[in-house]
Amino acid sequence: MSRIGFIGLGNMGGPMAANLAKAGHEVLGFDVADINVDGIARTTSVTEAAAADLVITMLPDGPIVRAVYGDIVRAAPVGACLIDCSTIDVESARAAHEMAADAGLLSVDAPVSGGVGGATAGTLTFMAGGADAAFALAAPLFDVMGQRAVHCGEAGAGQAAKICNNMLLAISMIGTGEAFALGQKLGLDPQKLFDVISTSSGHCWSVNTYCPVKGVGPESPADKDFKPGFAAELMVKDTQLSQNAASAVGASTPLGQHAADLYLDFVKAGGKGKDFSGIIEMLAQRSR
């Protein structure tokens, strides 16, 4: 069993830390908000939580990760492994790796896929970047918090994989919403349309697992008034990260850019606080 510092105990970090504690690890938690998590020993500062063999962060953005790492690297013992599960820009991820290396620490950037449900159930997928030795130290924790971890490459590779995945997810959910909204206007029974698409060439995760139509397919946020499993404003963040990365390397991503624009429209039009799949409501209300 390990002594683990966990910094960032929000909607994702809280259940992830709880699963580590349930597995028998000693977990020292810190969050700027007044958050209690069962089984977690609360600390009063980042540096107190960072006095551990492994330190996990789950934070909102790149600048915050950089700032928090400034405290962590001064407190973590030499040889400790830092695991950042935040979704941030690749440049900030690489900067965090450099800070860790300069302090004699190992590090992994390991953003996740699976949303709050996956964090609670311990079924997340981790996309990891970093040295082999660092990934080997982090892997047993990934096994507790998730069901799969892929070592994508060197520093920053995990973040690169995450933004590519979520750009595609954004595009596919918009396509799913458009298809079901069109079907409705053509008079199709949404269950019949699901029966066709889910077993035909249009099948995808957005249809088969997360269909945005109430009462169709497996239970999804559509059955709960789009209470978020993955909030629309987080999809705005991720699609903007993908477009910033595309600009940095000169990659053409026209559908990715259009998806980023549409999700921003959705949030501004009342989608904030709803699941990202709720974009079907905006698409259905629009006319050609």
| Residue labelled with tokens 């009063």 | 44
Active site residues: 162
Specify the DSSP element, H or E, that contains 243: helix 232-249
Extended strands (E) in 8-72: 26-30, 41-42, 54-57
Contact between 228 and 221 under an 8 Å Cβ cutoff? The reply is yes
| Residue labelled with tokens 């977990």 | 27
- Give the orientation angle of helix 190-197 with respect to helix 157-185, to 10 degrees: 130
Residue 99 CA to residue 112 CA, distance in Å, equals 22
Structure tokens at 175: 């396509």
Q: Which amino acid is at 219?
A: E
For residue 65, which of 44, 43, 92 has the smallest C-alpha distance? 92
